[in-house]
Homo-oligomer: A and B are copies of this chain.
C-alpha cells in the first residue's frame, strides 16, 4: 500500500519489508515471516555500501518487534547524520503503529521503544489511541487531543503531529448517519507551543484495511509538495516561521489533500465492497475468490468473514486518479480549545 501510493505520486521508493506475510493480520490467520532486526540493518548496510542512501524522506510504519524499532532508529539517525550539511535534506515521517480503539496489537515492549524515538522524528502520525500512549494524556474530547499534541510538542519536542482519527463514542450516530471523524494536526512554534488545526470528514460505517498506510504515504508526498511551495525544503524539519497560522501550515494544506484522496477512494471501496458481498450472498462461495468442492469444512460464518475482510481492502490500484488529483473537498479550521 505505502510503496504503491508513494510511487504513484512520483516518489522513487526503496522498500525494506518489515514482514513478508501472505495477507494482512485482519484476516485473523496468516502465514509468513517477520523480518528479524539484523536483516533490516544488513539491508541498510547494503544500500550504504553502494551509495544508495540519498533519501529525502524516511517513512517508517509497522515494526514487528522492539528490536526492529531500534533498527529503524539506527537507520534514521544515519540518514539524519548524512544530511547534516543540508538542513531539510532528510525528513522522517514516523507512523507509530501500536494499536487502535484502546487495543494494543503489538507486543508491549514496542511502546517504550517507540516513545524513545518519537523525539527524533519530524512528523508523527498516531491515531487517537497511539497519541494517548505516546503522550500519556488520555483523550475523551477534542481538548484532550489538543492537550496530547501540546504535550508531545513540549515534552518530546515533536515538530509536526497529525492525530489521524479522532472520534468519541457515538455522537452524531443518533440521526442514522455514521457521524464524523476528526483529524487534528499541529506544527510546533519555536517556544514549543502548538498551532492546532482540525479537519472533519464524514465517517464511513465500515472498517477498511490499508487506511493507515495510505494516509502516511499520501502525507509523505503532499507534505513535501506543500513544503516545496512554501520554500521550506532547505530548513530543518521543513518548519515554517512562527508567524504562519495553523490553517496556513504546509501540514494543514497537505492534510486537506490527503483526506480528500482518502475519502474519495474509501467511498469507492465501500461501494465495491457492497457489490462484492451481494455476489457472496447469491450462493455458497460464489465468485468471491475461493473454490468449492475440495472438501473444505470451513463454516459459512468464517467464509463470510474472510470474504468481507478481503472486500474491505482499500482499492487504490484502479483509483490512482483520486490519489493524484483529488477534489478539494476539505478545509482545515483552527482548533482553539
Answer yes or no: A20 CB below 8 A from chain B CBs.
Answer: yes
- Contact between chains at A289 and B32 (CB < 8 Å): no
Which of A45-53, A207-215, A232-240 forms part of the interface with chain B?
A: A45-53
In residues 284-337 of chain A, which contact B (Cβ within 8 Å)?
285, 288-291, 303, 306-307, 309-310, 317-318, 320
A-B interface, 7 closest residue pairs, ranked by CB to CB distance from nearest = A22-B46, A31-B46, A51-B290, A54-B289, A22-B43, A82-B291, A31-B42
Stretch at the interface among A10-18, A66-74, A149-157, A241-249: A10-18
**Nearest-Cβ distance from residue A47 to partner chain B, whole angstroms:** 5
**B-chain residues with CB within 8 Å of residue A12 when the two chains form the complex:** 317
Copies of the protein in its oligomer:
2
Judge if A30 is at the interface, Cβ distance under 8 Å.
yes
Q: How many residues of A contact B (CB 8 A)?
A: 47
Known: A23-B52, A51-B288, A317-B11. A45 touches B17 (CB 8 A): no
**Hey, which bits of chain A sit against chain B, CB under 8 A?**
3-4, 7-8, 10-13, 17, 20-23, 27, 29-33, 35, 39, 42-47, 49-54, 82, 285, 288-291, 303, 306-307, 309-310, 317-318, 320
- Chain B residues near A50 (CB, 8 Å)? 22-23, 27, 29-30, 306, 309-310
Q: Hey, which chain B residues are within 8 Å of A13, CB to CB?
A: 317
Sample of 12 more A-B contacts, CB < 8 Å, known A17-B20, A21-B46, A23-B50: A3-B4, A7-B317, A12-B317, A17-B17, A22-B44, A23-B46, A30-B50, A31-B45, A31-B49, A50-B306, A51-B288, A53-B291
